[in-house]
Structure 1
Amino acid sequence: MTYQDALAGRVSLPQQIYHITLCTYQRQPVFTCFATGRLIALQLKDTQAQRHALSLAWVIMPDHLHWLMQLEETCSLNQVLKGVKARSAQAVNRHLNRTGPLWQTGFHEHALRKEEDIKQIARYIIANPLRAKLVTKIGDYPLWDAVWL
């Protein structure tokens, strides 16, 4: 566990499944454009390729990200999210020709308990665009994925 994790009251457990929520700075709707949202998806893919976290499900909403992931043994939860936030902020800022923060400080995490239904949580995450009335069927929303497809 890192010092930052201890300060935040977080415990990073390898192989633990977490539901993560990251919000954009001042809840700005940065990801209304598909190309900008794909930059975030690429960071999640890269994090998996580096074997820091296994992505189980994610959805990129206009002003936040929900990510169901399993932490690998190479990094703490704080390190993984710090890296995703930093790399994605660089990519998005470069793409939009902007400067400044992309994400709010910190993040919200929920460590899943053994009795929780992972697929039900994934469905809840994926259905976010439906609940937000961005689409009438999930297949119409382009910025999501799940390993169960």
Structure 2
Amino acid sequence: MQERIVRGHTLRKGRVSEVGRIYLVTTVVRNRRPVFLDWQLGRLLVNVMRQAEQQGRVESCAWVIMPDHLHWLFRLTGGTLDGLMRDMKSHSGRQINRAGGLVPPFWQPGYHDHAVRQDESLKAIARYVVANPLRAGLVTRVGEYPLWDAAWL
């Protein structure tokens, strides 16, 4: 247990939040429960992500909801990265717990973030994100997977 706390703390070390920057974040369901095998629970998470867009907090570039985690590539357009992730995890966790009859907490503490540098190819990162179900052997074609999107498609 202590190791998780230390690791969560080290994930925050050096974290900078810049409006206008593109981030790739990954967050994991508590105990890696594969709750998003039920794609309807995944749609609740999608709705919370879309609310963040409607509120002017992010512009999504690409995302995929895997059975036990989320990868989300976006441009931060308002607020802070920590505030966005705290609110997204809080709102989605409450909705998913209620709809799925699950016991809180829903998400593991913390998240991993990568600030995309100018020299990195945004489309290549987006392709990597949406190809996760293929690499995991969940589908044979990306189009078969119900919980992903990319701005270029």
Category of TM-score, reference length = shorter chain: over 0.9
State which of 124, 127, 130 in structure 1 corresponds to 2:128: 124
Q: Which residue is 2:108 aligned to?
A: 104
**Counterpart among 57, 63, 73 of residue 58 in structure 1:** 63
- Give the partner amino acid of 2:31: Q
Identity of aligned residues (%): 46
Question: RMSD of the TM alignment (CA)?
Answer: 1.2
Aligned length: 143
What's the TM-score, normalizing by structure 2? Answer: 0.91
Q: Confirm whether residue 139 of structure 1 aligns to residue 116 of structure 2.
A: no
Secondary structure at the aligned position of 2:19 is classed as: coil
Q: TM-score, normalised by structure 1?
A: 0.93
Gaps of 5+ in 1: none
Give the match for residue 148 of structure 1: 152
CA distance in 1, matches of 2:32, 2:100: 17
Higher alpha-carbon deviation: 122-131 or 99-108: 99-108
Cα displacement string for residues 8-63 of structure 1 (whole angstroms, at most 9, x for unaligned residues): 42110010000000101011111001101111111110100001111110000000
Structure 2's unaligned 5+ residue stretches are 1-8
Spell out structure 1 runs of 4+ moving beyond 2 A.
Answer: none
Supply the distance in 2 between the matched residues of 1:143 and 1:8 (Cα, whole angstroms).
Answer: 31
**Could you say what secondary structure the match of 1:20 adopts?**
strand
Q: Is residue 2:33 matched to residue 1:28?
A: yes
Q: How far off its partner does 1:100 sit? A: 1.1
3-state SS, counterpart of residue 64 of structure 2: strand
